Amino acid sequence: MIDLTVKLKNITFRNPVFVASGTFGYGIEIPDLVDISRLGAIITKSVTLHPREGNPPPRIVETASGMLNSIGLANVGVDRYITELIPRYESLETPIIMNIAGSSLDEYTAILRKVESVSSNIIGYEVNISCPNVKKGGMQFGVDRELTARLTEQLRKCTERLLIMKLSPNVTDITAIAAAAENAGADAVSAINTVVGMGIDAITRKSKIYMTYGGLSGPAIKPIGLAAVHKIHRKCSLPIIGIGGITCGNDVVEYLLAGAIAVEVGTANFRNPGIVQAIVRDLYTYCKEQKIDQISGLSGGVETYP
Ligand SMILES: Cc1cc2nc3c(=O)[nH]c(=O)nc-3n(C[C@H](O)[C@H](O)[C@H](O)COP(=O)(O)O)c2cc1C
């Protein structure tokens, strides 16, 4: 019998394949063809203190091996999230991790306090300190060790639920930020968010994205994500959730070998909302062919040259 389960804090997930924030809505707008009971977990799109319209279009554009987006954290705000969405999670079997974003320490804390004050089956929070698409806040936290530490510490005081800090690749040394989150009490880090990029139309000579710069995602960023996970794994001992460019079971295995204990699939959901089910099937086949009983045993197993 092959065991695909993984453990994070005190929670056992049925498999290590989660869906990434911003690519699967709030977890309830699910097409009929997707069996969400096959997902390891759902990370919701980022929720902020106040509702946000997001950035003007164009805010999504395809690239050679992925996409550029500048959605700008469009969402309903935490109050509507609490009244309209949280009650709908009661009937879901799949674990829900709420992703939150803010433009100040107080804003992040206010969101968490509000959600913690109501009863819900949310199992934890992923804290977006790495959004490249907003003018205020967002990435400002994820590029600064001190701010990351203060924010983590403050949020840790507000919740005993799983606390995951989502890191940005747009930094000089991602391991320093991961270490700051670890020392301040985070249960895990997830890496990576999108990589800052730009698109230009040679004929119209215009920027392809209204906000000029956007976040690059998809297969183009997988090597960046793998290196980030591997470096964090070398320096820190907290669990890592790997993100970036995953489209098949082998991609997941690569992230696990680099040091992740679970992964999130983002952009690939837009091409095929049922992709995670296929990826989980791939993983099962991989384990069978490679005679692996427990997928969690792969974590950090990459062999590097001396
Ligand atoms: C359209 C779009 C919207 C996204 N929105 C969010 C978001 O609201 N919060 C967040 O933390 N990450 C967001 N992300 C980043 C993804 O969760 C993920 O970190 C990134 O896309 C890399 O994974 P991928 O290559 O599998 O897409 C978004 C990505 C895309 C493509």
- The reply to whether 190 falls in a domain is yes
- pLDDT for residue 136: 64
Q: Could you read off the pLDDT tens digit of each residue along the chain, which spans 306 residues? A: 899 999 999 999 999 999 999 999 999 887 777 889 999 999 999 999 999 999 999 999 999 999 999 999 999 999 999 999 999 999 998 999 999 999 999 999 999 999 999 999 999 999 999 877 666 666 678 889 999 999 999 999 999 999 999 999 999 999 999 999 999 999 999 999 999 999 999 999 999 999 999 999 999 999 999 999 999 999 999 999 999 999 999 999 999 999 999 999 999 999 999 999 999 999 999 999 999 999 999 999 999 998
Find the farthest-apart pair of alpha carbons in the chain and give their distance in angstroms, rounded.
58
Tokens of 252: 């997941």
| Ligand 1 neighbourhood includes 244 CB (under 6 angstroms) | yes
- The reply to whether 96 falls in a domain is yes
Give one DSSP letter per residue of 30-84, joined into a string.
--TT--GGGSSEEEPPPB-SS-B--PPSP-EEEETTEEEE-----B--HHHIIII
- pLDDT for residue 89: 95
| Residues spanned by the domain of 138 | 6-54+72-194+216-298
- The reply to whether 203 falls in a domain is no
Q: What type of residue is 2?
A: I
- The reply to whether 211 falls in a domain is no
| CATH code of residue 234 | 3.20.20.70
pTM of the model: 0.97
- pLDDT for residue 264: 98
Q: What type of residue is 169?
A: P
**Atom 26 of ligand 1, nearest CA residue:** 266
Residues 6+ apart with CB under 8 A from 93: 36, 37
- The reply to whether 249 falls in a domain is yes
- The reply to whether 143 falls in a domain is yes
CA of 90 to the centre of ligand 1 (A): 25
Helices (H), 12-104: 78-80
| Ligand 1 neighbourhood includes 245 CB (under 6 angstroms) | yes
E strand or H helix at 282: helix 275-289
The residues annotated as belonging to the active site are: 131
Total of domains in the chain: 1
- pLDDT for residue 153: 98
For residue 3, what is the DSSP state?
Answer: B
| Dist. CA 47–CA 35, nearest whole Å | 24
**Atom 19 of ligand 1, nearest CA residue:** 193
- pLDDT for residue 135: 66
CA of 73 to the centre of ligand 1 (A): 10
| Ligand 1 neighbourhood includes 166 CB (under 6 angstroms) | yes
- pLDDT for residue 166: 97
| Ligand 1 neighbourhood includes 98 CB (under 6 angstroms) | no
- The reply to whether 165 falls in a domain is yes
- Report the residue among 65, 267, 276 best suited for mutation to probe ligand 1: largest number of ligand atoms under 8 A from its CB: 267
- The reply to whether 208 falls in a domain is no
Give the chain's length.
306
| Ligand 1 neighbourhood includes 40 CB (under 6 angstroms) | no
CA of 23 to the centre of ligand 1 (A): 6
| Ligand 1 neighbourhood includes 277 CB (under 6 angstroms) | no
